[in-house]
């Protein structure tokens, strides 16, 4: 097992919807999907990044009270959660593929700062920046 | 106490905000934004302000100013070109609102930014832009009135 950060989670409005989005549209894999009563621990993984899991959690009981969950749901839907960055080897190609699968892009690929970047949101409102990895000069 | 807003509505309002973000140079009348969010125009204006703290038009102005600042800093485009590229129909309006929001003229901003350019290239551009977004807490016209009331503004230099 690699040392370091293992899981970072997102709040989503619906875990089934989020699972479909991250797996079917983004190409992630399910790592863990464990239910215990109302609670569902759901994490997905980028195929090239086996040491890291992205958690997809719905704010609510039993972890959070209803009022707090409601506030968090509003924040997520307003796109106010922290920024996320997905690094790809070809931004335009990834854009084409994901766009065809119905991913909601908020910015088409743009050349700048020596790279190419685009932006998209997951169904819940979490915002991703998709950045093309800079080629290491040989 | 504030009543919560429906997350499903907020998600659709966010779509309108995203559209302004990516095309702030375009005209965004409330009717157009309301269509993006699939709500009535009256409902849109009220809900947007409640959700994001500023009316949609003021949000748009802040985005345009922010983009103009980036162009002043990162390009050698003339101030006239920047004014038209960022969605203003007249150079005079651009200069006035720019000064109202930022406290200095576009020319002053350019001179200052060019003088102390930092190494920001490791921060994704959008986040960098967001970090420099002008904080429009008061209406632009309101700010102008207040400033005029409190002091005779320093130099009213015409934008070249």
Q: Are B13 and B48 contained in the same domain?
A: yes
Q: What is the DSSP string of A112-133?
A: ETTEEEEEEE-TT--EEEEEEP
Q: In 3D, which of B14, B129, B45, B39 has the Cα closest to residue A117?
A: B129
Q: How many angstroms separate the Cα of A112 from the Cα of each of A36, B74, B75, B83?
A: 46, 11, 12, 21
Cβ of B11 within 8 Å of Cβ of A125? The answer is yes
pLDDT confidence of residue B93: 94
Residue A22 lies in a domain: yes
Determine which of B6, B8, B10 to mutate to test the interface with A (most A C-beta atoms within 10 Å).
B10
Residue A137 lies in a domain: no
Predicted TM-score (pTM) of this structure: 0.82
Q: How many angstroms separate the Cα of B87 from the Cα of each of A128, B52, B103?
A: 26, 22, 20
Summarised one tens digit per residue, pLDDT across range B54-91 is 999 999 999 999 999 999 998 999 999 999 999 999 99
Range of the domain at A88: 7-132
The token pair that represents B149 in the structure block? 């009331």
Task: Name the minimum distance, in Å, from the CA of B119 to any CA of chain A.
Answer: 11
Question: How many domains is chain B partitioned into structurally?
Answer: 2
Question: B135 pLDDT exceeds 80?
Answer: no
Question: How many domains is chain A partitioned into structurally?
Answer: 1
Residue B68 lies in a domain: yes
CB-closest option in B4, B52, B121 to A70: B4
Cβ of A70 within 8 Å of Cβ of B127? The answer is no
CB-closest option in B10, B121, B125 to A77: B10
Q: In 3D, which of A88, A87, A41 has the Cα closest to residue A63?
A: A41
Mark which of B53, B69, B87 sits at the end of a domain.
Answer: B53
pLDDT confidence of residue B66: 94
CA distance A133 to A126: 21
User: Which is more confident, B17 or B136?
Assistant: B17
Residue A70 lies in a domain: yes
Domain CATH number, residue B125: 1.10.10
Cβ A28 vs Cβ A122: under 8 Å? no
> Per this entry, what is the length of chain B?
160
Cβ of A78 within 8 Å of Cβ of B14? The answer is yes
How high is the mean pLDDT of chain A? Answer: 95
Question: A15 pLDDT exceeds 60?
Answer: yes
Range of the domain at B109: 58-150
Residue A138 lies in a domain: no
Sort out which chain A residues have CB atoms less than 8 A from B121's CB and list them. 113-114
How many CB pairs (< 8 A) connect A and B? Answer: 54
Q: Are B123 and B137 contained in the same domain?
A: yes
Q: Are B29 and B79 contained in the same domain?
A: no
What does the longest C-alpha to C-alpha distance in chain B come to?
A: 50
Question: What mean pLDDT comes out for the span A49-60?
Answer: 96
Residue B158 lies in a domain: no
Q: In 3D, which of A7, A37, A8, A30 has the Cα closest to residue A126?
A: A8
Q: What is the CA radius of gyration of chain B?
A: 17
Q: Are B105 and B34 contained in the same domain?
A: no
Cβ B99 vs Cβ B141: under 8 Å? no
CB-closest option in B7, B121, B127 to A113: B121
Q: Are B18 and B88 contained in the same domain?
A: no
ipTM: 0.92
Q: What percent of chain B has pLDDT over 90?
A: 64
How many helices (H) and strands (E) chain A has is answered by 3, 8
Q: Are B38 and B78 contained in the same domain?
A: no
Summarised one tens digit per residue, pLDDT across range A70-128 is 999 999 999 999 999 999 999 999 999 999 999 999 999 999 888 999 999 999 999 99
CA distance A35 to B28: 45
Q: Are B143 and B88 contained in the same domain?
A: yes
Closest-CA residue of chain B to A119: B126
Question: A41 pLDDT exceeds 70?
Answer: yes
pLDDT confidence of residue B21: 96
Cβ of A83 within 8 Å of Cβ of B127? The answer is yes
CA distance B129 to B86: 14
Summarised one tens digit per residue, pLDDT across range B91-116 is 999 999 999 999 999 999 999 988 87
Residue A93 lies in a domain: yes
Sort out which chain A residues have CB atoms less than 8 A from B14's CB and list them. 77-79, 121, 125
Question: B159 pLDDT exceeds 90?
Answer: no
What does the longest C-alpha to C-alpha distance in chain A come to?
A: 55
Residue B157 lies in a domain: no
Domain CATH number, residue A128: 3.10.180.10
Residue A1 lies in a domain: no
């Amino acid at each position: 097992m690699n040392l370091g950060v293992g899981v970072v989670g997102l709040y989503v409005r619906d875990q089934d919807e989020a699972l479909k989005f991250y797996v079917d549209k983004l190409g992630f894999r399910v790592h863990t999907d464990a239910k215990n009563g109302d609670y569902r621990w759901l994490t997905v993984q980028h195929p090239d990044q086996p040491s890291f899991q992205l958690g997809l959690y719905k704010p609510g009981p039993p972890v959070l009270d209803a009022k707090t969950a409601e506030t968090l749901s509003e924040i997520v839907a307003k796109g106010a959660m922290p920024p996320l960055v997905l690094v790809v080897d070809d931004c335009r190609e990834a854009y084409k593929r994901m766009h065809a699968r119905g991913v909601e892009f908020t910015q088409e690929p743009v050349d700048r700062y020596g790279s190419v970047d685009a932006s998209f949101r997951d169904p819940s409102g979490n915002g991703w920046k998709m950045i093309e990895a800079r080629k290491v000069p040989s | 106490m504030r009543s919560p807003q429906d997350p499903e509505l907020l998600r659709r309002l966010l779509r309108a905000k995203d559209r302004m973000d990516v095309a702030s140079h375009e005209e965004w009348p409330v009717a157009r934004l309301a269509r993006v969010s699939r709500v009535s125009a009256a409902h849109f204006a009220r809900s947007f302000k409640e959700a994001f703290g500023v009316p949609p038009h003021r949000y748009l102005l802040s985005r345009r100013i922010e983009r103009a600042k980036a162009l002043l800093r990162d390009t050698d485009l003339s101030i006239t070109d920047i004014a038209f590229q960022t969605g203003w129909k007249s150079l005079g309006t651009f200069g006035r609102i720019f000064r109202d929001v930022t406290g200095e003229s576009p020319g002053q901003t350019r001179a200052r930014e060019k003088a102390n350019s930092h190494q920001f290239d490791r921060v994704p551009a959008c986040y960098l832009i967001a970090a420099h977004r002008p904080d429009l807490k008061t209406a632009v016209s309101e700010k102008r009135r207040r400033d005029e009331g409190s002091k005779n503004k320093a130099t009213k230099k015409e934008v070249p």
